[in-house]
Chains A and B, each alone.
Chain A
Amino acid sequence: MNAIKNLKPSTCNNLINYGMVLVFYIVVQILVNAGVLNNSMQGMLVPICTYVVLAVSLNLTVGILGELSLGHAGFMSVGAFSGAIFWMISGSQMSPVVGFTLAIMIGGIFAGIFGALIGIPVLRLRGDYLAIVTLAFGEIIKNLLNAIYVGWDSNGFHFSMKDVSALGLDESGEVIVNGAIGITGMPKASTFTAGTILVIITLFVILNLITSRAGRAIMSIRDNRIAAEATGINITKYKLMAFIISASFAGMAGVLYALNFSTLAAKKFDYNTSILVLVFVVLGGIGNIRGSIIAATVLYVLPELLRELQDYRMLIYAVVLIAMMIFNQSPQVLAWRSNFVSKISRSGIAARFIKQKRQSEEV
């Protein structure tokens, strides 16, 4: 007990995050083995992991660095395609674990490179202008991937921006990326276990980054750029660092996502997907990593649970989204809520609980 008390609050907080993921994993495994979990839920496990990684990594840009990005799906697609192409060519011939790990790493590296390419010029923009540039970047990537043809034969890679016949493949050749149709017939590799491991790695890296010296520098840029600059913090370096890490985790999530299905097309990675992830981040609380995890899980499962509503499904989803935003963010509602909570909390135990919570939240 004492050992726990002596931990730093941030460490304690982080442990709760890991614990939450592990408990979720174990509960799911038990349910699966007991045959209780239905197909629908089982099918959603890997996408949930993907969106959790995406939300946590976007939260690094939006919440910790304080820059709005609307192009997260772009980085995801770079990772997805590079990882999937590798997996199609050679990954599937290796042992699954090695091949899959390499694919994830390749996806992460490529997305990171793109993060740097985009980040270096655009991070001097601010606010809504940065947002529109990231949106533009996402659209450009999608547009290019929609028009790209990649083939592979004994002579190596072939690229074309025209059509399949322009690839000029020999007999042994096979088309890997077929324009807008993308990749088809891919062996699936993602599992819930792999997804959970990726979530834990993401949390480990990002949570440690936040509590590190670099993380404090990044947050100081968010809180007051000029003051941060005045204290000698290298703005560009830390901004870029956050941006690249965020992008490369998005890329890894992309690989996890891609290898969960037997096809992959660029159309998926449009601005709607970026927005979806942003919704997770904002609803979970900007800068609140645990909120991102919970929001991504709940909001991903929500539309699937609403399937019973048939035609009204997306309508209800939209209404719930608006209602949750107002409930969570409206100053009046928040005031009303804290009033309400403090009324309840006059009875002793609740008050103590809330006080503890407040303290941990403030840190």
Chain B
Amino acid sequence: MEFLSYLINGISLGSVYAIIALGYTMVYGIAKMLNFAHGDVIMVGSYLVFIGINQMGIPPLVAIIISMVACTLLGIIIERFAYKPLRGASSLAVLITAIGVSYLLQNLALLFWGSDPKSFTSVVTIPPLKLANGQLVISGETIVTIVTSTVIMIGLMLFVNRTKVGNAMLAVSEDKGAAQLMGINVNYTIALTFAIGSALAAVAGVLLCSAYPTLQPTTGAMPGIKAFTAAVFGGIGSIPGAMLGGVLLGIIEILSKAYISTQLADAIVFAVLIVVLLVRPTGLLGKKINEKV
């Protein structure tokens, strides 16, 4: 019973990682860049929802939609001014710029909203699910997070594989030059990817802060790294891989906290990651890259 309850906690944490990782993997898969600022877009999204609900009294759902729109715009702006000029430059240059954007967002948040932590009020109103005479409690947040991340995963997969725009994204991810020759607007497609990724970040922010109700300018940083790890774990660029990686990472983290050491949990998570990558160098569901000579 104890184990089951830890497992549920793990899935709960993991689904939060998963939803962040979906955003990471989406951007990586198509634009081929590690968007280290993703965690900070999540933070901005959460602040917007917090302000909407707590200070302006907007109903949660409206606040979330406003936040999604705002994050989408933010994503497009970041892409336009920070990443687009670097298209064609080395991927490292883009990585460093993304880190610069991450610092920028954190420090802007610090100036606008101050350093004191805010307590996020959960937007989930579903009562917790009690199983086995109340020995096993699954919180409403957990249920919502799992459902949302699954829905988003399926939605993204359908979108990428079934729609014309999605196919354009796949084409861009395969070969930008060839895609352009086929009449695909590469800039538009990449901007759209960022827009979707950032809208996802807003949703992820709300769920992250509902599950772990604290909000500071640095809130997005560590979950961002963990989610990035999760995305790599599952095979970066793969949408179901991000989901799987996130959930597994959460479970491993909670179980190692529970049975090995709370202090060394992070070390264990990263050690497992290394081992997995040694066995499967492109992650659990990553595509094997065939080298062209």
Contact = CB atoms under 8 A, between A and B. Distances in A.
Given A136-B273, A315-B108, A332-B85, A124 B100 contact: no
B86 A330 contact: yes
A61 to B, nearest CB: 12
B5 to A, nearest CB: 25
A359 B195 CA distance: 44
B290 to A, nearest CB: 12
B103 A321 contact: yes
Interface residues of B, number: 44
A137 interface: yes
Contact of A132 (B85, B96, B100, B229): B229
B274 A322 contact: no
Nearest to A313: B107
What is the predominant secondary structure among interface residues of chain B facing chain A?
helix
B270 A140 contact: yes
B281 A125 contact: yes
Given A128-B236, A143-B266, A318-B100, A331 B88 contact: yes
B278 interface: yes
What is the predominant secondary structure among interface residues of chain A facing chain B?
helix
Contacts of B278: 121-122, 124-125
A126 B290 CA distance: 13
A325 B99 CA distance: 11
A328 B100 CA distance: 14
Contact of B264 (A126, A147, A317): A147
Contact of B111 (A282, A315, A326): A315
A238 B155 CA distance: 46
B85 A330 contact: yes
Nearest to A124: B281
B271 interface: yes
A333 interface: yes
B129 interface: no
Contacts of A329: 86, 89-90, 93
A153 interface: no
B27 to A, nearest CB: 13
B267 A333 contact: no
B274 A137 contact: yes
Contact of B96 (A129, A282, A331): A282
Interface of A: 62, 68, 121-122, 124-126, 128-129, 132-133, 135-137, 139-140, 143-144, 146-147, 161, 226, 271, 275, 278-279, 282-283, 286, 311-312, 314-315, 317-319, 321-322, 325-326, 328-333
Q: Nearest 6 pairs between A and B by C-beta? A: A136-B270, A318-B103, A143-B267, A318-B104, A329-B93, A321-B100
